[in-house]
Structure 1
Amino acid sequence: MVVSIRDVAAAASVSVGTVSNVLNRPSKVAPATVERVQRAIDELGFVRNDAARQLRVGRSRSIGLVVLDAGNPFFADVARGAEARADEADMAVLLGNADEDAQRETRYLDLFLEQRVNGVLITPADDDTRRLARLRDAGTPVILVDREVPGSGFSSVSVDDVEGGFLAASHLLAAGRRRVMFLGGPRSIRQVADRLEGARRAVDAVDGATLQVVEMPALTVLHGRAAGLEVLERATGERPDAIFAANDLLAVGAIQALSILSGVRIPDDIALIGYDDIDFAASTIVPLSSIRQPATLIGYTAVDLLLSELDDPHGDHERNVRFQPELVVRESTSG
């Protein structure tokens, strides 16, 4: 039998309106009454009809989160941070995996709009923010995650990826490396383009240093391994003496090809650094140097910005929170 709000009201000897206030505005109800109603809810096993509530108030208690790649542990940590802050606000996070596909991203945005989410957190698959602007203009707040678009009207949480790319390449150059390879994904992904820009700045400042760019279709372990195998096909003198991978997954794949499938010594022959400092970067066969991002804090802060917009829907909301990356040195660059 489905327990209704009227059953709860009868069991607690209060009005239906009082039960509604306990569920939605408990601060307006005397503590003793809240306790009595809650006891009735627990005893009867009442579960609120959130779909009906959405029809009344126009919003659910959920937040949509669209990430570039749910298989990347970096985004798993972002989601963990977002869930922690949403839970504090009695909300839930609905996760969508765009898989680096703008059309797939749009389908998730449409789905979240149908679900009447309170707002959307998103790492866009490209630089086209028109779809997001339409969503915002229709009344659904949008927060950019791991991306900043100044002057767009969107609040954002990001890391200075140009500085991160500069740190990574500078570290390799300081170790005496001069033939640097940038192993990236599609440059339509803003993070990849920014990390490459930072690496170029570092290499251009050092006489005799060169930067080769290898662009893979996606930022995955398999594509990193394919790039590593391509390096192995080159004559020894034509190989890079250092690789900067645009994320740790690419770096792990490259390590598998270079260190496990051949006799290349890391870092003696080829030094290698990744980006994100995901949890298992320290436990690869050659512990991986990386550029650390505060992934969990990024997710937490994004929800915080969203809640601020919900509290003041007509305010000037463009706030851009930018964290600084951190170089983490391990054996893959320091033998």
Structure 2
Amino acid sequence: MAVSVKDVAALARVSVGTVSNVLNQPDKVAPATVSRVQAAIDELGFVRNDAARQLRAGRSRSIGLVVLDVRNPFFTDIARGAEQRAAENNLSVLLGNSDDDASREASYLDLFEQQRVHGVLISPVDDPTERLERLREHGITAVLVDRPSDGSGFSSVSVDDVSGGYMAVRHLLDTGRRRIAFIGGPDSVRQVADRLSGAKRAIAEQPDASLELVPTTALTVLAGRAAGESLRERASDERPDAVFAANDLLAVGVLQALVMLGEVSVPEDIAIIGYDDIDFSSAAVVPLSSIRQPSELIGLRAVELLIAEVSGAGATEQIVFQPELVVRDSTRPRA
């Protein structure tokens, strides 16, 4: 038979309300009483019914986090930052991977709504405004992650990807490269479109430079390897002299394809720069230059905004971080 709060109260010789305070607000109870109640809990093997407590409170102590691709270390780092700040506030994080699939994203949002989560952090596939408005109507706050709110009325934590794309290509131009290929896609992904926009702006400043688009259907190592193989198979005078990959996973794949057979040298023949500065970048066979995003900090700040909004202590806010250029061997200037 399950042990109840009443059983604990009887053994500890206190009221049910005192037991409830020990469980939820121990700072309001005398230390000696807390010790007596805790001893009764341990002796009886009492386990609190969080599901019932959440129903009474109207929301759980969990935050739902939906990311585009959990295989990408960038999103893993965001989750790590979110978990750290959540734990400091006695909250947990439930992770959902949409895998760039809008229907899968919707399923996670439905699930989190049914579980009455404390709030939702989301890196959306498409424009999420309508669905997030429905969550808000049901008392669930949402914060956009790695995506600006664009006036949607929701708080957001993002990085200026247009500036990052400009920074990447400007760096390639400054090392003397002029025939640059942008590898990434699909262009429906907001981050890819913004990074390409920044790349085009840098090219427009250099009259003798060109930008070739090499689209991919995914932002993975395998997609990067396929794009890299297509470049390697070209005649040497038809290849670009530099590649800007929309993320580091693509950049790693491109690097593997180019150097695998020893026909193309990086950076002598083709320089490569990625985006995100994941751990793999510095550990690659040719350490990769990249545009660094403060991934863990994005997760930390997103949770802070969510908690402030839920408590009523904060208004809607948009935080935009500036990216940082990290230069390694893959874009070393030609001798």
TM class, shorter-chain normalised?
over 0.9
Letter in 2 for 1:195: R
Does structure 2 retain, via aligned residues, the 8 Å contact 1:186–1:192?
A: yes
Q: How does 1:94-133 map to 2 (within 5 A)?
A: 94-133=94-133
Instruction: Give the Cα separation in 2 of the matches to 1:57 and 1:276.
Output: 39
- 1:237 aligns with 237
Q: Secondary structure at the match of 1:198?
A: helix
Instruction: Give the Cα separation in 1 of the matches to 2:292 and 2:42.
Output: 45
Q: Deviations over 1:69-112 (max 9, x none)?
A: 00000000000000000001101000000001111100000000
Unaligned runs of 5+ in 1: none
2:140 counterpart of 1:136: no
- 1:309 aligns with 309
2:270 counterpart of 1:270: yes
Letter in 2 for 1:264: V
Instruction: Give the Cα separation in 2 of the matches to 1:295 and 1:43.
Output: 44
Moved more, 15-24 or 57-66: 15-24
- 2:2 aligns with 2
- 1:189 aligns with 189
Deviation at 1:188, TM superposition (A): 1.1
Does structure 1 retain, via aligned residues, the 8 Å contact 2:275–2:292?
A: yes
Instruction: Give the Cα separation in 1 of the matches to 2:45 and 2:221.
Output: 47
Q: Deviations over 1:50-81 (max 9, x none)?
A: 11112211111100000000000000000000
Return closer, same or farther for 1:17/1:256 CA change in 2, 3 Å cut-off.
same
Moved more, 53-62 or 27-36: 27-36
Q: Deviations over 1:34-58 (max 9, x none)?
A: 2322333334332211111122111
Instruction: Give the Cα separation in 1 of the matches to 2:66 and 2:10.
Output: 43
- 1:83 aligns with 83
Return closer, same or farther for 1:13/1:172 CA change in 2, 3 Å cut-off.
same
Q: Secondary structure at the match of 2:143?
A: strand
Q: Deviations over 1:182-222 (max 9, x none)?
A: 11111111111110111100011001111111121110001
Deviation at 1:3, TM superposition (A): 3.0
- 1:226 aligns with 226
2:322 counterpart of 1:327: no
After superposing on structure 2, the runs of 4+ consecutive aligned residues of structure 1 that deviate more than 3 Å are 42-45
Instruction: Give the Cα separation in 1 of the matches to 2:27 and 2:136.
Output: 31
Does structure 2 retain, via aligned residues, the 8 Å contact 1:225–1:256?
A: yes
Instruction: Give the Cα separation in 1 of the matches to 2:197 and 2:206.
Output: 15
- 1:29 aligns with 29
2:157 counterpart of 1:157: yes
Deviation at 1:128, TM superposition (A): 4.2
Deviation at 1:32, TM superposition (A): 2.4
Letter in 1 for 2:34: V
Q: Secondary structure at the match of 2:329?
A: coil
Does structure 1 retain, via aligned residues, the 8 Å contact 2:60–2:117?
A: yes
Unaligned runs of 5+ in 2: none
Does structure 2 retain, via aligned residues, the 8 Å contact 1:168–1:290?
A: yes
Does structure 2 retain, via aligned residues, the 8 Å contact 1:66–1:121?
A: yes
Instruction: Give the Cα separation in 2 of the matches to 1:106 and 1:165.
Output: 30
Letter in 2 for 1:231: L
Does structure 2 retain, via aligned residues, the 8 Å contact 1:127–1:190?
A: no
Q: Secondary structure at the match of 2:100?
A: coil
Does structure 1 retain, via aligned residues, the 8 Å contact 2:141–2:309?
A: yes
Does structure 2 retain, via aligned residues, the 8 Å contact 1:274–1:290?
A: yes
2:270 counterpart of 1:293: no
Letter in 1 for 2:140: T
Aligned residue pairs total 333
CA RMSD after TM alignment: 1.4
- 1:18 aligns with 18
- 2:199 aligns with 199
Instruction: Give the Cα separation in 2 of the matches to 1:258 and 1:294.
Output: 29
Deviation at 1:318, TM superposition (A): 1.9
Instruction: Give the Cα separation in 1 of the matches to 2:7 and 2:250.
Output: 57
- 1:170 aligns with 170
Deviation at 1:115, TM superposition (A): 0.7
Does structure 2 retain, via aligned residues, the 8 Å contact 1:159–1:324?
A: yes
Instruction: Give the Cα separation in 2 of the matches to 1:211 and 1:238.
Output: 13
Instruction: Give the Cα separation in 1 of the matches to 2:273 and 2:45.
Output: 54
Deviation at 1:16, TM superposition (A): 1.5
